[in-house]
Amino acid sequence: MRKRLAPLPIILAGALLAACVVAEDDSASSVSAAVTRPTYTNPELGSGADPGVVRVGNKFLLVSTSGSSGDAIPVRVSTDLVHWAAVGPIFPRAQWPAWVKGDFWAPEIHRVGERHAVFFTARSTKTDKPSIGVAWTSDLEAWAHGTIAWKDVRWTSPATPLASDERTIDPGQEDRSGFIDPSYLAFEGRHYLYFNKDLWTNKPGNGQWRHEGEIYAQELTVGRTDAYVTVKEGATRETVLRIDKDWEGDVLEGANPFVRDGVIYLLYSANRYWEGKYCVGVASSSNPVGGFEKREQPVLRSNSAFAGPGHGTFVNNGTADYFVYHAYRAGKVGDKFPRLLMLDQVMWTGGWPLVNGTGAEPGTPSSGPMLVPVSR
């Protein structure tokens, strides 16, 4: 909402305008910046779980978990990362990939070579397990420039998953292990898929459901004429992160890799998403498939206003760094409550990112007015 001010004397107005030119801080504490830029307050963005964001031209596209919805992977568009409008799904029900039974989770769209690709999780018709899928298109640039309508964007998806656990389910243990939460990284001319294991099993003698998590990286081949994105032949699945911090609980998931100043940073979510302990950690490396060093503490955790923040996307809008993620309102945590879309600026300290680093509670979701980002 744009702030309205009463008319000011010309001299005072000029002084404020001069101050605005100097101010570059994206917190709303600067009166001069607030004069010229609108603000937003979390969770003004709406709702949605596991948001993935990509920039195409001057537009940002956001995709999110759609679960059992017939029209899978809804897409929203924005020019400022705050105000989002629905444009349609990636996969209308009649256009689901051949291998998919349902339950679309945690999608991300990335620029992959000369095309764009959406990576997603869905349950396989063959194994009933969550598996990693991919589809690609050459049409997003034309859509972003208004040449074609969203309904005319064409996605190509192979008949089999990109990554899956083909072992047969054991009915006695109700094993539903599989792979979830894909993300993508291009680094030094090579391409990598990041994802994690999802294992729920009622083990004999235990009787309690248990979730295990490891984050993997696996090299991809991009650009083949028969299948644009595939797992590279002979590429092994490398474990890049394991649980070794108390605050990580028993889950690692939602990897989000990016490169800054030649260093690979890997944001990841830890603990259980349906609990208030859910949070975001970060690790860094010079090698996309190993050698990751973790920051000792989370870069984003709960506060008195919002609980369980996590599973988001790092975005640079040409002016500053931001994190788009989801969280619950405090006291309203769990699957019966909506996960809310959130946006906060990422600050850098000691070589590490910190979400909302200049806020009253650094490393937690903002709950007061923040300046709407200005993209370049």
pLDDT, tens digit (0-9, with 9 covering 90-100), for 6-17: 333 333 333 333
pLDDT of residue 178: 84
Q: Do the domain assignments include residue 42?
A: no
Task: Write out pLDDT tens, residues 155-199.
Answer: 999 999 998 876 544 444 455 578 899 999 999 999 999 999 876
What are the b/e assignments for 219-243, b being 16+ CB within 10 Å? bbebeeeebbbbbeeebebeebbeb
pLDDT of residue 150: 96
Q: Which domain holds residue 366?
A: 47-371
**DSSP code for 271:** S
Query: Which pTM does this prediction carry?
Result: 0.88
| Structure-token pair, residue 264 | 């690979």
Q: Do the domain assignments include residue 133?
A: yes
**% of the chain with per-residue pLDDT over 90:** 77
* Number of domains comprising the chain: 2
**% of the chain with per-residue pLDDT over 70:** 84
Is it the case that residue 259 has pLDDT exceeding 70? yes
Is it the case that residue 29 has pLDDT exceeding 80? no
Rounded to an integer, the average pLDDT of 77-93 is 97
CATH of the domain at 273: 2.115.10.20
Any long-range contacts for 143-148 (C-beta under 8 Å, 24+ apart)?
A: 143/56, 144/56, 144/57, 144/58, 144/59, 145/57
pLDDT of residue 142: 97
pLDDT of residue 165: 72
Please enumerate in sequence order all residues whose Cβ is within 8 A of that of 179, keeping only pairs 6 or more positions apart, or say none. Answer: 121, 130, 131, 132, 163, 164, 165, 195, 196, 197, 198, 216
Which residues are 58's β-sheet partners? none
User: Do 141 and 219 fall into the same domain?
Assistant: yes
Rounded to an integer, the average pLDDT of 112-135 is 93
Of the CA atoms within 13 Å of residue 86, those in its CB half-sphere come to 9
Q: Return d(Cα 121, Cα 287) in angstroms, integer.
A: 25
- Assign 37 a pLDDT band (cuts: 50, 70, 90): confident
User: Do 108 and 193 fall into the same domain?
Assistant: yes
pLDDT of residue 27: 52
| Residue with more model confidence, 73 or 126 | 73
Q: Do the domain assignments include residue 146?
A: yes
User: Do 100 and 219 fall into the same domain?
Assistant: yes
- Which amino acid type is present at position 236? T
Task: Write out pLDDT tens, residues 325-338.
Answer: 999 999 999 989 99
Residue whose C-alpha is closest to residue 328's, from 344, 316, 310: 310
Q: Return d(Cα 185, Cα 141) in angstroms, integer.
A: 20
User: Do 63 and 20 fall into the same domain?
Assistant: no
Rounded to an integer, the average pLDDT of 16-27 is 40
pLDDT of residue 52: 98
User: Do 247 and 309 fall into the same domain?
Assistant: yes
